Amino acid sequence: MGRTGTSLSVNIAGISLSTPVLPASGTFGYGDELVETLDYAYIGAIVTKTITMRPRQGNPQPRIWELESGLINSIGLQNIGAERFKKEKLPSLKKIGKPVIVSVGGESKEEILGTLEYLCSDAVAAFELNLSCPNLGTGRIVAEDAKAVSDVVATARSMTDIPIIVKLSPNVSDMVEIGVAAQKSGADALCVANTYKGLFFDRKMNKFHSGGISGDMIFPMTLRHVYDLYPHIDIPIIGLGGINSGERALEMFFAGSSAVAIGTGLALNPGLPMEICRFLEEYLAFNGIRSVSKLTGSRNEKKETAV
């Protein structure tokens, strides 16, 4: 990095990242599976799949369907559980030499917080709270309810000094309300955003399947969420959704992201982190900009008029 005299390093939630490109949770396994396939020099941190307290088998097959410009999935948080992850994965992840961001989730507030507490260790650089779990009081998932988000984040903040990144849902009418609630409750950064609710009709099975939409097609909507949220918060945003090139990553920075995460794009092209980093280096050098952090929000006209 920085071959052109420019810097791609950024600071997210107090964590120094050598590049602003991260793998999206759920698309990178536990973090060590792609060591032989992906050049880890081009990612700023390892982001694990969501870990729950108890092991989960996930939803039955089929659970991934290909769309014209993306994917729809219903994996169901398949994972080995917190105990095995802590014993079998965390020690090896720490040896890779990249900050480890552990995504935690569950079917209740208690499970999310219990998993976080159990996994607290010096091997964890940050926690990503996956709040897409049922909120039994309202019938909505936690990430779609500002009060529920405040409750979970505030409690998590009281339990640990490890930085907390809150992964927001795009399936809301007011992203600003949710993001501000997370910040006020102690979030150190926001990940914007998770997948969009969708349906896939399986002609072979003659039935609908419900899942989350990711890939190229969601980029404009996610970009708008980042653009709208940026003027109202003071913590970093990790832009996530439909980024498949350096140009798309650059647009996320312009809108207000301090870093970007790639999911479906990474699954389709393991060389994408390198392509994004090289594009950003060339853009910075050509425009005489020394640091990628200078790009954040630089084309967000709403920042000047924000209350």
> Which residues belong to the active site?
133
Q: Quote the tokens at residue 290.
A: 């020394």
Cβ neighbours of residue 118 closer than 8 Å, sequence gap 6 or more: 53, 82, 83, 86
Answer for the pair 48, 100: CB distance below 8 angstroms, yes or no.
Answer: yes
Q: 167: helix, coil or strand?
A: strand
Neighbouring-strand partners of residue 213: 72, 196
| Phi, psi (rounded to 5 degrees) for 184 | -65, -25
Cα 59 from Cα 70, distance rounded (Å): 20
Task: Using alpha carbons only, give the angle 14, 15, 17 rounded to the nearest 5 degrees.
Answer: 140
| Element at 157 (helix H, strand E) | helix 146-159
φ/ψ of 271, rounded to 5, equals -85, 0
Tell me the DSSP string of 228-268: HHGGG-SS-EEEESS--SHHHHHHHHHHT-SEEEESHHHHH
Residue 95, Cβ density class (10 Å: 0-12 exposed, 13-18 middle, ≥19 buried): exposed
Contact present, 263 and 269 (Cβ < 8 Å): no
The residue type found at 228 is D
Structure tokens at 192: 């914007």
